[in-house]
Amino acid sequence: MFNEVYDVIVVGGGHAGSEAAASAANMGSKTLLITMNLQNIAQMSCNPAMGGIAKGQIVREIDALGGYSGIVSDTSAIQFKMLNKSKGPAMWSPRVQSDRMRFAEDWRLLLEQTKNLDFYQEMVSGLIVENGKVCGVTTSLGVKIKSKTVVLTNGTFLNGLIHIGDKNFGGGRAGERAATGITEQLVNLGFESGRMKTGTPPRVDGRSLDFSKMVEQPGDVNPEKFSYLDTTKPLTHQRSCHMSYTSLKVHDLLREGFDRSPMFNGRIKSLGPRYCPSIEDKINRFADKDRHQLFVEPEGWNTVEYYINGFSTSLPEDVQFKALRSVVGFENVKFFRPGYAIEYDYFPPTQLKHTLETKLVDGLFFAGQINGTTGYEEAASQGLMAGINAALQVQEREAFILKRDEAYIGVLVDDLITKGTEEPYRMFTSRAEYRTLLRQDNADIRLTPKGFDLGLASEKRLRRMEEKHGAAEKFVQFFRETSVTPDEINPVLEAKNSAAIRQQDKMFKMFARPNISIDDMKQVASVSEYIETNNLDGEVIEQAEIQVKYSGYIAKEKNNADKLTRLENIKIPANFDYSKLQSMSLEAREKLTKIQPVTISQASRISGVSPSDISVLLVFMGR
């Protein structure tokens, strides 16, 4: 059935697998996507939403490089919000509420239109490995398929075990079977594996809810979108979410099920996502809180199904039901599906290189939840990077690695492979030390040229970015070069309680004042004329405004990042023998031996490696 040797086989059609398959195929690699159920391509296992704090930046980065997640997030969106708009632009984070079914359908249709990509529905049960190199996969039906590289993106499916109260059963996700065979083989090959846990809330029938008792949460008045391409459009109408709260009564009802809770009776042993705790975890850990927020999120444009964000639980279904009926607006609630928790295997990501290729088996890449991460965006970005690097390896081209000052994706991969993770890893803005550089508005400027060089981002994408960037730079230059007289600017400054000027000054200095916005500057005739004459759109104006207002911070971070690059450039020889560095701490020697960092900079980020350990290393290397 499969006579040819594929360049890349991607195992799993979730968020990681879909991006991996798309990127490898779009870069010209003959690619096969094997997944257990072709009906569930890019299925949203948990919340019907993409983006959010730090995750929205990741989706923009994927789009800038030429991935599909941003496009699909736009075409399947039912609501858009730019989170954190009251804070500085480094914190602005786009988020959409998605039509769950349309998201999966749009992904599948996009993949079907992708050249060089074949599909096959089956469970991969093993890898073909010869002389330390992967050569293909075998399936549960015994089909052997050859390839030069394999990307594993098994998500929550490896030996997945679903828990609802005191019941548990094998499964990769509700209604889908678990994947077996792969973990056992990888462990035999010398890989270390672990267990993690995650959970999801019940889904309910919207017709049984009383929304008049809840607080409406509409989308933005002027919604934006994810993709930098103009093929997707901002929403012209949106669906609202709603908000309600738990109460002490709800908490008491939930507590009644604690003795049957797999979380508390020791049946679930693995760690779950710290920042996405179950409702039982919340009322247990924050016993002093008398209520918790619940967001009632529609699952699509037309469906009556709703997702109860904030009520993730693995308590028995009768307890879930009784407690939810006591929430305001939920008095007559009907369940579509109960919440549940799932435990699954993952592989500590310190076993990977920066390319997401495993250190143990050549040509074998891991991406997504299998690496101990949580979230669609984290998974999708790893899939993109693994797909790109698998294709590059086959084409014998240089690996593609993003640095920490270039992209959140760079921070994510570097954190994973350098520090590892013992609990499900999710991205936060605080994880990025250069977040002023890594904004959602400039992901195209940062990354589209790289995506184009890879053969992934289209020429159209590159041209759009160049036009936007060029126009914004010119507008900033206009502010630098143009002076403004007291007569022109003082009325604007006075209206904002900003000190008046006595003699003419540069427009840039006025605009850079913290409480002066572009709308204020537009009151100066020359500014509004410039905008009109040059036909500047909102994106260009916003970009110029950020460049003017945050130029000091941006310059400072660039300077710090340049210092890092100098350290980054000091390479450590492969298989370096740290045992001979007796003046280095034992812990540092052990960690460095395990991780085998590629550069001094990476070594400095390993937990347990102190600045003095780095000095020892630098002295040894003659620096």
Annotation: binding site for NAD(+): 272-286
SS3 209: coil
SS3 call for 245: strand
Cβ-based nearer residue to ligand FAD, 15 or 30: 15
Q: Does 173 bind ligand FAD (CB under 6 A)?
A: yes
Nearest distance from C-beta of residue 395 to ligand FAD, angstroms: 24
Q: Running DSSP on this structure, what letter comes out for residue 178?
A: P
| Distance from C-alpha of 351 to C-alpha of 370, rounded to nearest angstrom | 12
Letter for the amino acid at 330?
Answer: F
383 contacts 231 by C-beta, under 8 angstroms: no
Of 34-42, 229-237, 400-408, 530-538, the window that binds ligand FAD (rule: CB under 6 A) is 34-42
Query: Residues within the annotated binding site for FAD?
Result: 12-17
Torsion of CA 230, 234, 236, 238, to 10 degrees: 150
Distance, CA of 609 to CA of 142 (rounded, Å): 46
Report the residue number, 14 or 597, with the smaller CB distance to ligand FAD. Answer: 14
Instruction: Retrieve residue 412's tokens.
Output: 């994510």
Least distance (Å) between residue 38 CB and ligand FAD: 9
Binding string, residues 330-369; x marks residues near ligand FAD by CB under 6 A: ------------x-------------------------xx
* Contact residues for 168 (Cβ-Cβ < 8 A; gap 6+): 161, 162, 262, 267
Nearer CB in complex with ligand FAD: 13/316: 13
34 sits near ligand FAD (criterion: CB under 6 A): yes
Cβ-contact 583, 615 below 8 angstroms: no
With respect to ligand FAD, which residue has the nearer C-beta, 12 or 202?
12
Shortest Å, Cβ 305 to ligand FAD: 16
Residue 37 sits in the site that holds ligand FAD (CB under 6 A): yes
Distance of alpha carbon 377 from alpha carbon 54, whole angstroms: 9
Which of 13/349 has CB closer to ligand FAD? Answer: 13
Which residue, 14 or 420, has its beta carbon nearer to ligand FAD? 14
Residue closer to ligand FAD, measured from CB, 270 or 448 = 270
Q: Which two tokens stand for residue 488?
A: 């022109």
Query: Residue 57 CB, nearest distance to ligand FAD (Å)?
Result: 15
In this complex, which beta carbon is closest to ligand FAD, that of residue 156 or of residue 246? 156
210-218, 263-271, 370-378, 591-599 -> range binding ligand FAD (CB under 6 A): 370-378
- Tell me which residues in 434-493 interact with ligand FAD (CB under 6 A): none
Residue among 545, 564, 611, 599 nearest 433 (CA): 564
For ligand FAD, what does the binding mask look like between residues 84 and 123, x meaning CB under 6 A?
---------------------------------------x
Tokens standing for 294?
Answer: 């619940």
Secondary structure of residue 216 in the 3-state scheme: strand
Amino acid identity, residue 401?
I
Cα dihedral sign for 451, 454, 456, 461? positive
Site for ligand FAD in 187-226 (CB under 6 A): 198-200
Considering only residues 29, 35, 98, 244, which one is a binding residue for ligand FAD as defined by CB under 6 A? 35
Which of these, 552, 469, 473, 555, lies nearest to 509 by C-alpha position?
Answer: 552
Supply the minimum distance, in Å, between the C-beta of residue 425 and ligand FAD: 10
Binding-site member from 277, 375, 420, 451 for ligand FAD (CB under 6 A): 375
Burial of residue 611 (CB within 10 Å: 0-12, 13-18, 19+) is: exposed
Site of tokens 């929430």: 327
Q: What is the identity of the amino acid at 83?
A: L
Distance CA(73)–CA(218), nearest Å, equals 18
CA 367 – CA 55 distance, rounded (Å): 16
Instruction: Supply the minimum distance, in Å, between the C-beta of residue 424 and ligand FAD.
Output: 8
Interface residue with ligand FAD, options 50, 83, 135, 182 (CB under 6 A):
182
Is 273 in a helix, a strand, or coil? coil
The answer to whether residue 432 forms part of the interface with ligand FAD (CB under 6 A) is no
Binding residues for ligand FAD restricted to 253-312, rule: CB under 6 A: 273, 276, 312
Nearest distance in Å: CB 199, ligand FAD:
6
Per-residue burial over 118-141, b if 16 or more Cβ lie within 10 Å, else e, is bbbebbbbbbebeeeebbbbbbee
CA–CA separation, 561 vs 180, rounded Å?
A: 44
The reply to whether 40 sits near ligand FAD by the rule CB under 6 A is: yes
User: Among 250, 379, 443, 527, which residue sits at the site for ligand FAD (rule: CB under 6 A)?
Assistant: 379
Find the part of the chain contacting ligand FAD (CB under 6 A) among 28-36, 224-232, 233-241, 463-471: 28-36
- 61 closest CA partner among 103, 85, 94: 94
- Which residues share a beta bridge with 32? 9, 118
Binding status of residue 56 toward ligand FAD by CB under 6 A: no
Please tell me the count of residues contacting ligand FAD according to CB under 6 A. 39
The interface region with ligand FAD, picked from 35-43, 258-266, 404-412, 548-556 by CB under 6 A, is 35-43
Binding residues, by number, are: 12-17, 272-286
Q: Of 8-27, which residues contact ligand FAD (CB under 6 A)?
A: 11-17
Identify which of residues 48 and 368 has a Cβ nearer to ligand FAD in the complex: 368
Place of tokens 């600017």: 489
Q: Is residue 326 at the binding interface for ligand FAD, with CB under 6 A as the rule?
A: no
- Cβ atoms of 405 and 423 within 8 Å: the answer is no
Residues 6+ apart with CB under 8 A from 109: none
> Distance between terminal CA atoms of the chain?
57
- Binding residues among 123-162 for ligand FAD as defined by CB under 6 A: 123-124, 153-157
Amino acid in position 508: F
Q: Which stretch binds ligand FAD (CB under 6 A): 40-48, 98-106, 535-543, 576-584?
A: 40-48
Per CB under 6 A, 319 contacts ligand FAD = no
Taking the CA of residue 134 as centre, how many other CA atoms within 13 Å lie in the half-sphere pointing to its CB? 33
Q: Which of 374, 393, 418, 602 binds ligand FAD (CB under 6 A)?
A: 374
Please state the closest distance from residue 374 (CB atom) to ligand FAD, in A.
4
Site for ligand FAD, rule CB under 6 A: 11-17, 34-37, 40, 45-46, 123-124, 153-157, 172-173, 179, 182, 198-200, 273, 276, 312, 342, 368-369, 374-376, 379, 426
